[in-house]
Structure 1
Amino acid sequence: MDPDSIRTAERVPHGGETDRDLLDFSANTNPRIPDGVEAVYADALEDARRYPDDEYIDFRAAAARFVGCEPDDVIPTPGGLAAIRLAVESTLEPGDEALVPYPSFGEYAREVRLQGARPRFVRYDDLFDLEDEGLESAALAIVCTPNNPTGEAADPDELAAFAARCERADTTLLVDEAFLGFTDLPSAALRARDRDLENVIVARSLTKLFGLPGLRAGFAVATGERRDALETARRAWSLGTPAARVGAYCLRQDEFVRETRERVASERERLRDALSERFDVHPSDAPYLLCNVGDRDVDRVIESARERGVAIRDATTFRGLESHVRVAVEDREANDRLLAALDVRGDRD
């Protein structure tokens, strides 16, 4: 990191509610976890008295199977954000330019600035339309799919074509797939491998899909020189033993993943139909919905929901959004409580 940039950097607001008396719709995590996780975690505790095996052979194998890459291409990290930081700091130097989508995850611009580089903001849905000259000036381009907070997933063919254009421009492409596991879309890592593209770095988070955000487990995927750079730069013992064991176990729970995708898709559409009675709701492929509250006061909408026991995300903290909130997609009972807290009748039969 660039020391001068650190001195002027600021923290970024996120979802997540610390008040356990509130039903938390501000963070987009699965309300369920796979059966058997507790036993795997308990069994790992005794081995946690020793340093982890820094090779993480089983974790890499499970992650590679999940996204469709080779185990050696997997770089274990303590969460998806750690994978993003590792990619950014191994790519950018002070003075470099990075293409950062908006509205999107606020940590992208922060990580770019921490390296002393400059973010150039581009509308997330305009990124693939950039002229080649716009790519050539950038050392890094970032794509979030599904995009957070809007929820739209990038078309895999369009993303692959954009990755090829980035490679011709000598631009590294970082693809954040934190929520892609909630869909059945292929990983950019698979498409990059099929097309022999070595400029792509994929960041994955396990803990959203498997309902364990406090576990801090994730990974990056890359090939060639970029893979070597990430592997060299990653911290030793980058995953604790419980995180590595539970992560590998979860990544093999195919039935849990299938059921989660079906439930999220069904409940998301039910929620969207209901919320559309009161708000302008953005289409989404993700486990969350972005709602434009119009001329209502955002703070009052949020506070009113809190008074009824539900926390929702203030989306005005995302660049370019001024009248929005974001809500997670939970299970049916919780979703009905959300609708009641937002004064939406909907279909709760």
Structure 2
Amino acid sequence: MTWQALFVNTGNTCHLMKCTTELEYLNICPVPKQLLIIVSEDESQPPFKHYLLGLSACKHGRQLGQVSEEAKIPESDILDFSVSLNPLGSPFRFKESGLDIEALLEKATCKLEQYPDNRYIELRTAASRFAGNGVEPDNIVPGNGSCELLRLILESVVDEGDIVIVPMPCPAEYYRTCEALGAVPHKIKLNEMLQLPKRTLERAKVIFFSNPNNPSGDLVSRDRIREFALRCAEQDTLLVVDESFIELSDPSQSVADLAAKRDYLFVTRSIVNAFSLPGIRFSYGITSLPLAARLNAARLSWNIGSVTEEIATAVLSMEGGMNSNYLVNSRTFIREERQYIIERLSSLYGFNPLKSNANFVLVDMKEHFMDSEYFTKCFASRGIFFRECSDFFEGQKHFIRISVRSKDDFEKLISRLDDVYAEFSREEAREKLVETLEQGPERVAATRGTCGYYPCHFLGQDCTFCFCPFYACSDERTGGEWIDSAIGGKVWSCEHCTLLHQPKVAEKILDVLMEDGDTDENIRKAWIEVVLPLL
């Protein structure tokens, strides 16, 4: 590996030096603070900082356009349970908001040919009033989305190698922002965050904490956050509280007013989720006057465009602010529909919806017979999209996040369950069949010693076809029948069919299926030649 060092001396003269070892580099360049260090294995590669070389582009689950293309369904026909937005839609659809989108766009258009006033006085004033008593415009740091604010904070506070504590689970952007700036993210379980010992706090430069948490929906009380913030400040550790969903949860638990008075507390807010405006990238930070002044000096000079500025100022200035009719109605709707979702899912096998105080519900599918990735894919092909959460849980594929929508929309999701289960059964049957055919005559059928469910039908049964290759045959002469499903429809049950587990029958079917030719054709042939005569 070649180390390239760009040395800048006090005369502002640059010298590019190359060395093959770190020791050689240190001998040549003894004053690291005067260097931009670049590491690469190939001198023709771009001159990136070494901690960026392994960074990959961020992916936030599957995108709606991708699902639309794969399922061949127009985006407008897809029920999207994946986004964590206000289910009532933007306030521009809410008659009582008094907002006129056309007038705002016309006003913004008049400013397209001039640079914005990067002080953003009106916007910061609207944000301070919305945040509540004790917050002044000079406490506000405007940002082009939460990601920009997080990056601004870390750019201004951490050095390479500094420790940043992040909750587990949390959005992947927390980790990525740390890694992109050379900081070291330390993951701590969410339920352990507020009990971190003094030694851990003093080692960390920054701590990220989301309230309510995404994706769990857990909400921590204002008093507990305040107590934790005091402990962090004692160790000169900056606590960043992400309140992106607080407006749709319980605004009384916000610590925004406390952040306005404390140097080691920074609160982030966003209009994206609260007002269902993902196309308007505006978030804002709330912190003490000294810290806000430094961050406003360090942020990009013109980070908010004219259209975003006009729309964000308008929605934050709605009459009633945090308790506008629009947001009060939103919280009521979310609370009622969320409870319905939790109760409905709790009654179905394999779903464990967790308690939530946000506009989404995290569902644990650990006991389900399908993993979250396959489950999500099956629904996406049917025009229903929700958030698969393996990226939140370090690859564990048993969590999905379902956003709150109306009962009617949710019942459309539930109504697709039987179709998804039928597809899963057919695919499982095909996979098991392929495995069986590959084993051939030497196969070892499941027995008392290899299957925890043996015997599921009768002693001495043949388990070659644990998943029936003829599912769903719909022939009640087999002993199978249509039964009422847990969701209200009908589903084909093979519970009382034992034909394929009779050793001689299983052997004859396997002989046909192993013949040369198309597998699907062989399945039809086996049904006609072996099963039908038995019926």
TM range (shorter): over 0.9
Q: Answer yes or no: is the 8 Å Cα contact 1:84–1:176 preserved in 2.
A: no
- How far apart are the structure 2 equivalents of 1:11 and 1:153? 30
Residue type of the alignment partner of 1:92? V
Which residue is equivalent to 1:38?
101
Matches within 5 A, 1:63-78: 63-68=127-132, 69-78=135-144
CA 88–345 in structure 1, closer or farther in 2 if over 3 Å, else same: farther
Do structure 1's residue 192 and structure 2's residue 267 form an aligned pair?
A: no
3-state SS of 2:185 partner: strand
Amino acid at match of 2:49: P
- 1:138-217 mapped onto 2 (5 Å cutoff): 138-186=204-252, 187-193=254-260, 196-217=261-282
Out of 65-74 and 162-171, give the one that drifted further. Answer: 65-74
Shift of 1:90: 1.4
Letter in 2 for 1:124: L
Bigger relative contact order (CA 8 A; separation at least 6): 1
* Aligned equivalents of 1:263, 1:126: Cα separation in 2: 31
Q: AA paired with 2:357? A: D
Residue equivalent to 1:126: 192
Tell me the CA shift for residue 259 of structure 1.
1.2
| Partners of 2:60 and 2:408 in 1: CA distance | 25
Q: Which residue of 2 aligns with 1:232?
A: 297
Q: What is the RMSD computed on CA atoms of the aligned residues? A: 1.9
Q: Once the 2 structures are TM-superposed, how far is the Cα of residue 27 of structure 1 from its aligned partner?
A: 1.4
Measured against aligned partners, the alpha-carbon deviations of 1:167-200 in whole angstroms (never above 9, x if no partner) come to 000000111111111123342221334xx42111
- Report the equivalent of 1:258: 328
Q: 2:78 aligns with which of 17, 22, 37?
A: 22
User: Residue 10 of structure 1: which of 56, 59, 70 is its match?
Assistant: 56
Q: Deviations along 1:35-62, whole A, 9 cap, x unmatched?
A: 3352223431222222222121111111
**Residue 146 of structure 1 contacts residue 286 of structure 1 at CA under 8 Å; is this kept in 2?**
yes
Determine if contact 2:259/2:267 at 8 Å carries over to the other structure: no
Change (3 A) 1:322 1:298: closer
Instruction: Summarize deviations over 1:288-345 as a string: whole Å, max 9, x none.
Output: 1111112322222112211321111111111354311111112343333233334574
> In 2 relative to 1, CA 285–42 (structure 1 residues): closer, same or farther, beyond 3 Å?
farther
**Comparing 115-124 and 269-278, the one that deviates more:** 269-278
List alignment gaps of at least 5 residues for structure 2: 1-35, 37-47, 69-74, 93-98, 319-323, 419-485, 489-535
Q: Which one of 73, 76, 82 corresponds to residue 148 of structure 2?
A: 82
Q: 8 Å contact 2:248–2:359 — kept in the other structure?
A: yes
Greater Cα offset, 31-40 or 99-108: 31-40
The 8 Å contact of residues 140 and 173 in structure 1, kept in 2 or not, is answered as yes
Match of residue 270, structure 1, among 334, 337, 340: 340
SS in 1 for 2:219: coil
Q: CA deviation at 1:22?
A: 2.0
Cα distance in 2, alignment partners of residues 60 and 232 from structure 1: 15
Deviation at 1:91, TM superposition (A): 1.4
Q: What is the alpha-carbon distance in structure 2 between the residues aligned to residue 45 and residue 207 of structure 1?
A: 22
Q: Give the direction of change, closer, same or farther, for the CA distance of 1:6–1:266 in structure 2 (3 Å limit).
A: same
Q: Percent identity, aligned pairs only?
A: 29
Hey, what does 2:377 align to over in structure 1? 303
Q: State how many pairs are aligned.
A: 344
Post-superposition offset of 1:154: 1.6
1:61 and 2:117 aligned: no
Picking from 399, 404, 418, the partner of 1:329 is 404
CA apart distance, 1:150: 0.5
- The answer on whether the counterparts of 1:98 and 1:112 sit within 8 Å (CA) in structure 2 is yes
Q: Deviations for 1:105-138, whole angstroms, at most 9, x for unmatched residues?
A: 1111111111111111101111001111110000
Structure 1 counterpart of 2:356: 284
Tell me what 2:168 maps to: 102
Inter-partner Cα distance in structure 1 for 2:185 and 2:100: 40
C-alpha distance in structure 2 between counterparts of 1:120 and 1:257, whole Å: 35
1:76-98 Cα deviation digits (max 9, x unpaired): 11112211221122111101001
* Cα pair 2:165 2:188 within 8 Å, conserved: yes
State the alpha-carbon separation in 2 of the partners of residues 335 and 53 from structure 1: 45
Q: Which runs of 4+ in 1 moved over 3 A?
A: 341-346
- Which residue identity lines up with residue 122 of structure 1 in the other structure? I
